[in-house]
């Protein structure tokens, strides 16, 4: 996708790459995938054994390159999460594939990097993982995979009328009306983060920071400004920093007509992360 190339370019131009460590991940181990996905599904995925309907539901035509790319993205978020476990910030230039279920692909998401990373952290001995999903679309796959697991708090704040129609319950869901703007959005987020950090006391956070919340987005139905979106990111990063925990980010969606707007919003996320952490 062109936005990822442009984002990498912009991060270099602004010198953000030099300030953050830049890593190219390998593919993720199958064992890590199996913590969040059924082995039979992974076999279907790897073997190109999708039915026509499964392929349609995924949003992609199957190819070996597609699966390879997805596994690299999974490893990226997994590595970011391990940095986060050390109190640092890690940002995946892609990822945030929150529509992938335990045993099927959906909405351009084949494997769920947030769920995989959360269970990888649990395997490393952590006990309280927070997933903050602020993409405009509900984190349906993550909610289904994690279910009622008390070790993982899933928080999704999304457009009430957006895809997906079926929204399995997160630990906390905030469904927003169409055209919600900066003021109401940020007040609700601030309130929710305060409650979560006080009651759940996460040891580490995973942040799906989709920028399809922007007013310019073709698919989102909310009305955040670029500045409001940046304030959103700052709020999440500051909450983590103040609580003394690290955070791993996965970029998520962004479908503004002008690709430069998308790149600007994602670049803001990287810049704010750097500024809060340095």
Residues that bind Zn ion (CB under 5 A): 135, 137, 210, 212, 253
Identity of the residue, 113 or 212, whose beta carbon is nearer to Zn ion in the bound complex? 212
CA nearest neighbour of 73 among 43, 98, 48, 104:
98
Identity of the residue, 70 or 212, whose beta carbon is nearer to Zn ion in the bound complex? 212
Identity of the residue, 135 or 144, whose beta carbon is nearer to Zn ion in the bound complex? 135
DSSP string, the chain: -HHHHHHHHHHHHTTHHHHS------PPPHHHHHTTS-HHHHHHHHHT---HHHHHHHTS---HHHHHHHHHHHHHHHHHHHHHTTT-EEEESS---TT--SS--BTTBSS-HHHHHHHHHHHTT---EEEEE-SSS--HHHHHHHTT-TTEEEEEEEETTSSPSS----SEEEEEPTT-BHHHHHHHHHHHHHHHHHHT--SEEEEE---TTBTTBSS---BB-HHHHHHHHHHHHHHHHHHT--EEEE-----BSSHHHHHHHHHHHHHHHHHHH-
Work out how close the CB of 135 gets to Zn ion at its nearest, in angstroms, rounded to a whole number.
Answer: 4
Active site residues: 99
Identity of the residue, 75 or 135, whose beta carbon is nearer to Zn ion in the bound complex? 135
Q: Which residue has the tokens 């269970």?
A: 119
268: tokens are 């803001």
Identity of the residue, 137 or 271, whose beta carbon is nearer to Zn ion in the bound complex? 137
Residues 162, 179: contact at Cβ < 8 Å?
no
Residue 72 burial (CB count, 10 A): 16
Work out how close the CB of 210 gets to Zn ion at its nearest, in angstroms, rounded to a whole number.
Answer: 5
Work out how close the CB of 235 gets to Zn ion at its nearest, in angstroms, rounded to a whole number.
Answer: 19
Work out how close the CB of 47 gets to Zn ion at its nearest, in angstroms, rounded to a whole number.
Answer: 28
| Residue nearest Zn ion, Cβ-based | 253
Work out how close the CB of 269 gets to Zn ion at its nearest, in angstroms, rounded to a whole number.
Answer: 14
Work out how close the CB of 185 gets to Zn ion at its nearest, in angstroms, rounded to a whole number.
Answer: 15
Identity of the residue, 75 or 212, whose beta carbon is nearer to Zn ion in the bound complex? 212
């Amino acid at each position: 996708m062109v936005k990822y190339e442009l984002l990498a370019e912009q991060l270099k131009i602004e010198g953000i790459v030099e300030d953050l460590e830049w890593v190219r991940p390998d593919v993720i181990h199958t064992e890590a995938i199996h913590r969040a996905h059924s082995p039979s599904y992974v076999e279907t995925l790897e073997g190109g054994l999708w039915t026509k309907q499964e392929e349609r539901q995924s949003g992609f035509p199957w190819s070996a390159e597609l699966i390879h790319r997805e596994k690299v993205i999974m490893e990226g978020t997994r590595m970011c999460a391990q940095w986060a476990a050390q109190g640092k910030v890690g940002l995946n230039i892609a990822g945030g594939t929150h529509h992938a279920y335990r045993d099927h692909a959906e909405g351009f998401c084949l494997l769920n990097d947030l769920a995989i990373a959360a269970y990888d952290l649990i395997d490393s001995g952590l006990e309280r993982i927070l997933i903050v999903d602020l993409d405009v679309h509900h984190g349906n796959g993550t909610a289904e995979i994690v279910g009622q697991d008390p070790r993982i708090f899933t928080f999704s704040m999304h457009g009430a009328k957006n895809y997906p129609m079926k929204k399995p319950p997160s630990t906390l869901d905030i469904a927003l009306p169409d055209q919600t703007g900066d003021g109401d959005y940020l007040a609700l987020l601030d309130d929710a983060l305060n409650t979560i950090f006080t009651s759940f006391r996460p040891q580490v956070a995973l942040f799906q920071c989709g920028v399809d919340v922007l007013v310019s987005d073709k698919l989102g139905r909310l009305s955040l400004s670029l500045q409001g979106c940046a304030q959103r990111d700052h709020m999440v990063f500051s909450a983590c920093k103040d609580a003394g925990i690290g955070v791993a980010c996965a970029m998520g969606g962004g479908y503004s007509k002008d690709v430069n707007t998308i790149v600007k919003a994602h670049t803001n996320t990287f810049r704010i992360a750097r500024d809060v952490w340095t």
